[in-house]
C-alpha cells in the first residue's frame, strides 16, 4: 500500500 493510500484510509476510519 502507498503512503498516500494509507493516509486516505486513515481519514476514512477517523470520520467514522
Q: pLDDT value at position 9?
A: 75
Which cell numbers in the block locate residue 16? Answer: 467514522
- Amino acid 7: pLDDT: 79
The candidate with the shortest Cα–Cα distance to 1, out of 10, 15, 13, is: 10
With a pLDDT cut of 90, the percent of the chain lying above it is: 0
**pTM over cut 0.75:** no
Q: What does the pLDDT read at residue 10?
A: 76
- pLDDT < 50 positions in the chain: none
CA distances from 10 to 3, 4, 15 (A): 10, 10, 9
Helices (H) and strands (E) in the chain, counts: 1, 0
Q: Rounded to an integer, what distance in angstroms lies between the CA atom of residue 1 and that of residue 3?
A: 7
Amino acid at each position: 500500500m502507498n503512503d498516500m493510500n494509507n493516509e486516505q484510509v486513515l481519514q476514512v476510519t477517523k470520520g467514522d
